[in-house]
Amino acid sequence: MSQSSANLDVLRASAVLAVLFDHTLQAFGLLHTPLTTRWGIDSLGHFGVLMFFIHTSLVLMMSMERLARTAPGITGRFYIRRAFRIYPLSILTVLAAVTAHLPPYFEPHYRWLGAKVLWTNLFLVQNIFNLPSQVAPLWSLPFEVQMYLLLPLLYYWISGIRSNRLAAGAVITAGFAAWYLEGHLAQWAHYPALFEYAPWFCMGIACFALSRRRRGLLPGGWYVLTVALFVTLPCLAYRVIGDYRSGWVLWLAGIFFVCTLPSFRDVANSGLRRVAHTIAKYSYGIYLAHVPILWFAFEKLGPQRRAEGILVAVALLIAVPVVLYHFVEEPFIRMGARLATRLTPRRAHEEAVLRGAAAG
C-alpha cells in the first residue's frame, strides 16, 4: 500500500462525502429529525472527520518514509511541506468568509466574531483558546496541525520497533493513554483538551506500521464493503446502543478497520478508482468550501428558490474545489516542496535528536 493507493482514495472520498452529506441534510433542515437522531445520522459528519484523521496520519507516515529514502533532514522538510499544504487554503477561506460576510455555519446572518477569533483561525490555534471557527469545518484543522508536531517523533519511535504488530499495538495504546491522561489533566487545569482525537490519529499510524510488510490478499471488492460498513457504523451503534458506550464501539471498529486495511488488494473497478481519485484530489477544497456554498445556495437564496439553489450548489461544489486546487493548493504544494528541498540541511542532526527522544 502506498500514498497513491486506490483504497486510500476510497477512504478519503468516503470521509469527505460523509461530511458533505451531513451538512447537506443540515442545509435542508433535515439533520435533527426524529429519524436522523434515532439512527445517529446526525453524527455522520463528525465520523467522517475521524476517518480523515486516520487517513491523514497514515498517508503522512508514508510521506515521511518516502522522504527518508531521498535525504536526511526529513523533519524540517516535513514541516515546511505541511505548512504550504494546509495554511494557504485555510487562510484564504478565513479571509474570504470575513470579507464576504459569510456566517460560520448556517446562521441567517453574518456576525463579526472579533479580531482574536480571526487571528487564531488564521494560525489554526482556535482550539487552544477555546474560540469558535470562522468557517465551521475549520474546527478539525488545529488538531491536525498540532498532530504534525508530534508525527516525526512517532515515526522514529515505531521505526525502531522491529515487530510491526508490536509497533501498532504500542502506538494505539499510547494514543488512548494520551487521550485519557491529558483529558483528565485538561479537566483539572480547566483548559480545552488537545489530545481528544489522539486515538484516531494513532490508529492511522498503527495502520502504517502494519502495512510495511503485510501483503494485500483480500479482494478489493471486500474493501469497498468494509468501508461502507465502517461509514454506516455510527448509525447502527447509536440505534442499537444509544448512549456513551456507542463511542466504545466506534473505537473498536476503528482499530479493526486499520488492522484489516493493509490486507486488502487495491480496488480493481476502473470507474470507482477514477471517481474516488477525483473526489480525493479535490477533497480539501470540498471540505473547506462546502458549508459556505450550501449556505449561499439554500440560506441566502431562500427556500422559495430551492430548485435554483440545488443547481447552484451542485455547480459550485464541482467548480470551486477544482479552481481552489489548481490555483491555490497545487502551486503552494509545489512551492513548499521546492523550498523544503532547498532550505532544509542535508545533515542528520535533527534525526539524531528525535531518535534520542524517542528512545528515551
- Write out the chain's pLDDT in tens, 360 residues: 677 789 999 999 999 999 999 999 999 988 888 877 777 788 889 999 999 999 999 999 999 999 888 777 789 999 999 999 999 999 999 999 999 999 999 998 899 999 999 999 999 999 999 999 999 999 999 999 999 999 999 999 998 998 999 999 999 999 999 999 999 999 999 999 999 999 999 999 999 999 987 677 888 889 999 999 888 887 777 777 767 777 888 899 999 999 999 999 999 999 999 999 999 999 999 999 999 999 999 998 888 888 999 999 999 999 999 999 999 999 999 999 999 888 765 544 555 555 555 555
User: Would you state the pLDDT for residue 351?
Assistant: 55
In whole angstroms, how far apart are CA 239 and each of 30, 243, 253? Answer: 18, 9, 16
DSSP line for 325-347:
IIIIIHHHHHHHHHHHHHHS-SS
In whole angstroms, how far apart are CA 249 and each of 165, 172, 252, 309, 331? Answer: 22, 16, 5, 38, 41
The CA distance from 13 to 282, in Å, is 9
In whole angstroms, how far apart are CA 284 and each of 12, 42, 221, 347? Answer: 10, 22, 26, 33
Q: Identity (one letter) of the amino acid at 257?
A: F
The CA distance from 340 to 329, in Å, is 16
The CA distance from 200 to 260, in Å, is 15
Candidates 160, 169, 245; CA nearest to 210 is 169
- Confidence (pTM): 0.92
